Every structure is written in C-alpha cells, then in structure tokens.
C-alpha cells in the first residue's frame, strides 16, 4: 500500500498560500465543502501541511469534503473495510471507505463472529428507528449474521456467510447499488488516488433534494471556489497577533496547570509524610507501653505473679 499524495501541478502554485494561522478565516477550512469527484481528484497537497491532512483548491485550504452521487459499486474487504464507489457524472468517481469498528471478540477472529440479529421497531412513521441487539447465535445457520459498527456515524455493515452483505443507516435505510448518497468525510490516498474516509452519509430520496444539493454546489463554486482566497496584509497581521495571543494564553494555561499539579504533588507528599509521622509516633508509644509493662512484670516478686 502506497500513500504518496498526487504530485503538485505547476499551474496550482501561482496563488499565494497564506500561513496556517490564517486558515481559520478561510470560507472553506471549517466547512463541509461541496465538491464534485473531478474537483476532489484535482486537489493537491503542499509541503508542510501533510500532517494536518489539508488539501488545496487554488489556495483554499480544505479538510472536510461533501459529495453527492450514485453508488455504482460496493466491495467488502476482509471484514475490516467496505468500499463504496460514488459517481456524480462529473467524469470521475470517488471511492468512499467505511472503516469497521470491531469489538474485542471480532478482532480476535478478524470479524468472523456469527451473531443472531433481533430488530425491534421504535418510533412513529416520521421519526422511526430500529434497535438492534447482537448476541452469540444458537439459531439456524441461514439466520446468522455479523453486525459491524463503523467509524461513519449511524452506519452499520451486516456481513452474512449465507446471503448477500448489506449496509444500513440507523434509520434502517439500506444503501445499495443505485442509491443516491450524500457523503461527508476526510481525504486519504491509496496508490496515489484519493479516497474519502466516510464519516456521515444521507440517502437522497427524491430529485428535488438532489437538485438543491447541486444548486448549493453551483452557488458555492461561483462565489468561493472559482476565485482565489484573498486576505489583506492588515488581516494577516491581525490574525498573526491573534495567534500569538492564543499561543500565549495556552502557554499560561499549561504553566498554571503544571503549577497546580506541582502544588497537588507537594500537598500529597506532605500528607503522606504527616501520616507516616503519625504512624511512627503511635508505634513508638506502643513500644514504650510494652517496655513499661515488661519492666513492671520483670520487677515484681515471684509470689505476686
């Protein structure tokens, strides 16, 4: 597995990249950014920002991706991952990776733990959900399945050795090939290709909702993504001063926390010393009484004993 990022294209470096302390003022940094699959594959990384997992469109820093498309392929990989291929008709597609969260028993067996799934309907028609419970199965084999929780909110993957696997939202909606999905997540790379680490997913039930998504994308693209992000020198200086102020406050907070921890340690040491001194004095008194008793017994005449 190679996780090298796609190479930086020369035409992308013509726009000024601002220091990291300016990113908080960006319209894309703390936002689910609506993109197409083609836009995702056109993102790039810049030296110095790899650890933060920040990608750039022009000079816009982007961390969180929002896609909408049709699921064209589902692949289950070794009980640890599920891959959804999302096609939004932009000319390219994006793989969405669902990471399974296995319990201790499933980790020992690689996820191959058969459980019986019992489902209980709760709520009304407008606010319905299903409650699932998993326990060691003693039912017929064709009723056995494995329920995998995932890192994606409200998504479970149901693995069955005797029937097709399935993916469900907490609303008991199944994600299948042909499902139109709104997907939110962060980016990683596999074999020099971007993948979306799925964190949230919503099924698009009607064409009107899908149109709203694309209208939102078109508006955000025309207002923000189509032009470089510009910050005035005064704003850069202000943000720099604000960052220094925050760093100073953080240093003071850490120093005060260390001082409090040191005071707690000193008090604990003092309490321990006082307790040990009290125990020592009690032991000395006990030994003194015992010596006095022995002296009195040794000094008495035999007839008095």
Band (pLDDT 50/70/90 cuts) for residue 110 is low
Q: Which pLDDT belongs to residue 103?
A: 66
Other Cβ atoms within 10 Å of 229 Cβ, number: 23
CB 185 within 8 A of CB 83: no
**So where are the chain's domains?**
10-231, 250-299
pLDDT digits (tens, 9 = 90+) for 141-156: 445 777 888 888 778 8
In this prediction, what percent of the chain has a pLDDT beyond 70? 78
DSSP per position, 66-120: EEEEEEEEEEEETTTEEEEEEE-SSS-EEEEEEEEE--HHHHHHTT---EEEEEE
pLDDT digits (tens, 9 = 90+) for 2-45: 444 443 443 345 678 888 888 988 999 999 999 999 999 999 88
pLDDT digits (tens, 9 = 90+) for 187-207: 998 888 899 999 999 999 899
- Kindly provide the b/e burial profile for residues 71-108, where b requires at least 16 CB atoms within 10 angstroms of the residue's own CB: beebebeebbebbbbbebebeebbbbbbebebeeebee
Using alpha carbons, list the distances in angstroms from residue 266 to 12, 244, 259, 271: 57, 32, 10, 9
Q: Look over the chain and give the mean of its residue pLDDT values, rounded to a whole number.
A: 79
Band (pLDDT 50/70/90 cuts) for residue 299 is low
CATH architecture label of 10-231: Beta Barrel (2.40)
Name residues whose C-beta falls within 8 Å of residue 193's C-beta, 6 or more positions apart in sequence.
6, 41, 95
Chain centroid, CA 17 distance in Å? 27
Mean pLDDT computed over 106-120? 45
Q: Which pLDDT belongs to residue 303?
A: 52
In this prediction, what percent of the chain has a pLDDT beyond 90? 41
- Kindly report the pTM of this predicted structure: 0.65
């Amino acid at each position: 597995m190679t996780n090298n990022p796609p190479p930086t294209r020369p035409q992308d470096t013509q726009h000024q990249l601002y220091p990291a302390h300016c990113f908080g003022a960006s319209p894309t940094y703390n936002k689910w950014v609506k993109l197409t699959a083609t836009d995702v594959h056109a993102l790039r990384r810049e030296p110095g920002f790899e650890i933060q997992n920040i990608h750039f469109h022009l000079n816009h820093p982007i961390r969180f991706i929002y896609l909408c498309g049709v699921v064209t392929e589902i692949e289950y990989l070794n009980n640890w991952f599920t891959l959804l291929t999302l096609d939004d008709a932009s000319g390219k597609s994006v793989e969405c990776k669902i990471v399974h969260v296995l319990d201790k028993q499933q980790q020992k067996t690689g996820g191959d733990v058969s459980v019986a799934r019992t489902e209980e309907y709760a709520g009304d028609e407008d606010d319905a959900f299903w409650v699932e419970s998993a326990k060691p199965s003693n039912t017929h084999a064709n009723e056995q399945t494995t329920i995998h929780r995932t890192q994606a909110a409200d998504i479970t993957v149901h693995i069955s050795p005797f029937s097709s696997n399935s993916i469900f939202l907490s609303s008991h909606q199944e994600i299948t090939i042909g499902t139109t999905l709104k997907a939110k997540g962060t980016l990683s790379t596999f074999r020099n290709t971007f993948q979306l680490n799925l964190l949230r997913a919503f099924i698009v039930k009607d064409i009107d909702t899908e149109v709203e998504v694309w209208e939102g994308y078109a508006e955000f693209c025309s207002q923000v993504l189509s032009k470089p992000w510009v910050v005035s020198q005064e704003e850069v200086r202000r943000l720099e001063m604000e960052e220094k102020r925050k760093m100073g406050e953080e240093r003071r907070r850490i120093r005060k926390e260390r001082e409090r921890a040191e005071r707690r340690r000193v008090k604990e040491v003092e309490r321990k010393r006082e307790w040990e001194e009290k125990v020592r004095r009690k032991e000395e008194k006990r030994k003194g009484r015992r010596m006095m008793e022995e002296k009195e017994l040794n000094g008495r005449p035999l007839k008095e004993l």
